[in-house]
Structure formats: structure tokens, C-alpha cells
Structure 1
Amino acid sequence: MSGALARKVEKLAQESWAPVGLSPSHAYLLLATLDEPGIGPGALAGQLQLQPSTITRLMQKLEEKKLIVRTTEGKLTNVYPTPKAKDLVPKLHACLEDFYGRIEALAPPPEGGALLQAMSRIADRLED
């Protein structure tokens, strides 16, 4: 049952992010970079709860699309959004709002909010 729910939510997310031509994972990584320019891959991995190798692949694709740049100083890598990415901010926020609206339509408050909070708490416990 949880697998079916995950697949359906992923489909909704893909449909919501389609207008900017990004997968949900790429979009969330880009949003994190826009929120915190210079963020490191390790911080991105923790924030997005993804493996470092996955973060590397996502960053490569965003670099190809000219949406981020990586700088390296010694062992430190920092990730910055490009001007092209900054121009996408209104569209990114519209996609995010669309996704939240779709989720809310399926599970309206208060049940939907309670469900999301419970899922977040469970995810946090699984991390420990």
C-alpha cells in the first residue's frame, strides 16, 4: 500500500514540475541551492535525504542545463545557482504551489496536514 501511494505521489510531483522541465529531485535540489547559494553537496544530501552519489548525478544534470555551477576550493565544493536559475524562481514556486495544491486536494486539512506531519516524523525516526 505504501508503495502504491509513493508511486502516485511521485506521478503528481512529476506532473507539477513538468512546466520547468525538471524532475522533482532536480527541482528540489535547485530550490535548495537558490535558498542557500554556496551550499555544499553534503548539506544537500542531508537536506534532501539522498545519497551523495545521487546528489552528484543530479548536480551534473543541472550543470548541463546551465542552472548551477560548482566551485572547488581544496576539498570543499560549493554549489551556486546561475542567473538562468534565478530567472526560473517564479515558475519554480508556481510548480511547488501546484504540487501542494494537488496533494491538498487528495488529503484536505486537517487530515492531510496530520498525515504529512506523521510521515515527516516517521522519516526522521528512520534516519536515526
Structure 2
Amino acid sequence: MLEQNFCECLFFTATRLKKVAAKIAEDELKLLGMSPSYVYVLLGVKFKPGITQKELCEELHLKPSTITRLIDKLVMNGLVERRAEGKLSHIYLTKDGEEIQENIQKYRVKLHDRYKEILGKEEYDLLAKITNDSAKILESK
């Protein structure tokens, strides 16, 4: 009943969408044994070897404390390593981190296919574009 009063509110609908999309992502990625946040950190490190924690924060739109916690766990699990280069710490995939990239990609495609199955490809593509474009506009203000 309250939903009727809030459905035109961007904050309410975006939060609801985030929760629903996150639940689907967690379900699709659970066979990897890690949450979507870990998967996207590993992808960030794969796409930009030597990325700094600050850069990961900016790229993934996560707080520094969250990135530190995620990287600490990935280091403990032997999937990434930190290398000090001057004052900065750079993050690299380990051999084990490289080896799971094929599975990560497979489950990432499976996740996107699941969203497309539920929403339809055109709706999925449109929603992703509008959401991304809107976020960029809101961030610039």
C-alpha cells in the first residue's frame, strides 16, 4: 500500500531496483562462491592490472573502507596481491585470480542473460542505458 505513495520517487524506485537486481546477481553468482562485489573487484583488476584502491573506489563507486575490506579478503584467498610502488599500493591478479577469470566471465554472461530473460533484451538495454546516463548526470551536480 505504501508503495503506491512512493512509486514516483526516484530514491525509492532506485533502491528497490538495486535490491531486486542484487538478489538476482547473488543467486546467479553463488556457484562462484563469491558475491557480486568481489566479482567486480576482480574484473576491475583484470581490466586494469596494477589499479590502485583509489581507482577501484572511483570505478566501482564504492567507499574506500569497502574496497579495503574486499581486497583484504581477496588477498587472504590468494586471488589478488598488493604491490607497493612508491607511496601507492597497486593490485594485481595472482595465478589463482587469473585462473578463475573464465568462470567469472561465464557467470557474468549468465547473469546478464538472466536479466534479459526477465525484462526482455530491449527493456534491459534501455534500463541499463537510462540508469547509467542518469547516474552520470546526478553525479555531476
What's the TM-score once normalised by structure 2's chain length? 0.86
User: Partner of 2:84: helix, strand, or coil?
Assistant: strand
Which runs of no fewer than 5 residues in structure 2 stay unpaired? Answer: 1-12
- 2:61 pairs with 1:49: yes
- Matched with 1:28 is 40
- Matched with 1:5 is 17
User: Partner of 1:26: helix, strand, or coil?
Assistant: helix
Q: Residue 83 of structure 1: which of 95, 106, 113 is its match? A: 95
- Matched with 1:59 is 71
Larger radius of gyration: 2
Question: How far apart in 1 are the matches of 2:61 and 2:16?
Answer: 21
Q: Give 1:35 shift.
A: 1.5
Count residues in correspondence: 128
- Matched with 2:82 is 70
Which runs of no fewer than 5 residues in structure 1 stay unpaired? Answer: none
- 2:100 pairs with 1:93: no
- 2:120 pairs with 1:108: yes
Question: How far apart in 2 are the matches of 1:7 and 1:115?
Answer: 15
Structure number with greater CO (CA < 8 Å, separation at least 6) is: 1
What's the TM-score once normalised by structure 1's chain length? 0.94
User: Partner of 2:51: helix, strand, or coil?
Assistant: coil
- Matched with 2:6 is none
Amino acid at match of 1:119: T
Question: How far apart in 2 are the matches of 1:109 and 1:84?
Answer: 34
Question: How far apart in 1 are the matches of 2:53 and 2:59?
Answer: 10
Runs of 4+, deviation exceeding 4 Å? none
